Amino acid sequence: MSAPNDCAIPAAASSITVEALTGLLESVFLRNGTSAEVARVLAANCANAERDGAHSHGVFRIPGYVSTLGSGWVDGQAVPQVEDVASGFVRVDAGNGFAQPALAAARPLLVEKARHAGIAVLAIRNSHHFAALWPDVEPFAEEGLVALSVVNSMTCVVPHGADRPLFGTNPIAFAAPRAGAAPIVFDLATSAIAHGDVQIAARKGEKLPPGMGVDSLGQPTQDPKAILEGGALLPFGGHKGSALSMMVELLAAALTGGNFSFEFDWSNHPGAKTPWTGQLLIVIDPSKAAGQRFAERSEELVRQMHGAGLKRLPGDRRHLQRARSLAQGIVLDEPTLLQLRTLAGY
C-alpha cells in the first residue's frame, strides 16, 4: 500500500462517507443472501479497510464475497455456536460461515475470561476469513488489552526448500495499547506479498518486485498473472517466514479443529473465493503483570524507536489515511461505485 497523499479527487471518482459506504455494502451482503448480523459485521470490516487505505482488503473483496455466496460454498446465514470449554479457553463453531461474526459472537466471553484469568484463547473453526486481520485485534488494544491472531488461508505459498505450494499466505496480526496514542497494530502475511496485492497488480498490469513468487515451472517471476495462473508465492525471509507460516497452520488449523490450507476442495463450487479454515486469537490483560505501566512502556519503546531514527511505525499510514477519510470521505472511482450500487440492487 502506497503512502496516502493530499491530492484532489480525480475527475472520474467520487467521495463517499464511511457510514454511506458501510450502508451500501450492507445492502450488497443482504441482497446476496446473508443475515442482517453477518451483513453488518462484514460491511463494517470492508468499509473500514477501505477507509484506512487497505485497498486489497476493502471494496476490492466485494465481488469475491458475492461470487462465494452465490456458489453455495459459504453459509451467509450461519449462526456461530460459542462453547465455554475452560477458564481461559473459548471455542466457536462458525457453522461454515464467516469468521468475523463468529469472533463478534464470542467476544464478550473472551474479554471476560481475559480480564479474569489474565489471558484467554479463542479457537474458531469451520470458518471463512476473507478480510484484513488487523480489524480483529485492534479493538482489544483500544480496551487496554494485548491481542494476537493468526489465520490460515488457501494453498498458494511454497515452503522454503520445497518445490510446490502447500501453505496459505497465513497472516499474523498483533495489537497493543499505547499511552496517549493510538494502539500499536500490525498485520502481515507470512508470504512475501499478500495475495490480494498480487491480484491488484495483475489487474493494473504492474510488475511485482523480485522475490515475490514463481511461475508454473517454479521459476522466479515478477509477472503477477504468472503467479496467479499456476504459479505460487514465496514466504518472506526464506526459511524464517516459512517457519512462521508453518506455526500459523498449526495454531489456526490443528489447534482449532479447522482445515489446513491444503485440506479443503472448492472445485465443485465455481466462484468460491473464501478459504475454509480456522482462526486463533490470544488476548492478554497486561494489568495482571505491569498494570497501567504497560501502555506507558509501549510509548517509551516507540519514543526510543523514533530516537533511533525510525520515521514511521507499522500502522502509521493507516491512521493518516483514516483521519483523511473521516474528514474528506473515501474516494472511489465511478466504475467501482457503480458496480457496488448494482450489486446492492440500487
Catalytic-role residue among 197, 261, 285, 325: 197
So what CATH class is 13-191+235-343?
Answer: alpha beta
- pLDDT of residue 163 exceeding 90, the answer is no
- Closest listed residue to residue 129, CA positions, set 80, 96, 89, 157: 96
Q: What is the pTM of this model?
A: 0.92
Which residues 6+ apart lie within 8 Å of 34 measured at CB?
42, 69, 76, 77
CA atoms within 13 A on the CB side of 63: 9
What are the residue ranges of CATH 3.30.60.50 in the chain? 192-234
197 is catalytic: yes
46 has pLDDT over 60: yes
pLDDT of residue 5: 45
The domain made up of 192-234 is a member of CATH 3.40.50.620: no
Task: Check if 269 is active-site.
Answer: no
For the chain, the distance separating the N- and C-terminal CA atoms, rounded to the nearest angstrom, is: 31
Burial class (CB in 10 A: 0-12, 13-18, 19+), 186: middle
Number of helices (H) and strands (E), helices first, in the chain? 11, 12
* pLDDT average, residue stretch 315-320: 92
User: Annotated catalytic, 239?
Assistant: no
Select which of 56, 127, 261, 325 is catalytic: 56
Q: What is the pLDDT of residues 169-179, one digit of tens each?
A: 999 999 999 99
Burial (CB < 10 A; 0-12, 13-18, 19+), residue 143, is middle
What is the rounded distance in angstroms from the CA atom of residue 110 to the CA atom of residue 126?
19
Q: Which of 27, 52, 57, 195 is catalytic?
A: 57
For the stretch 234-248, pLDDT in tens is 999 999 999 999 999
Looking at the chain, the domain(s) classified CATH 3.30.1370.60 span 13-191+235-343
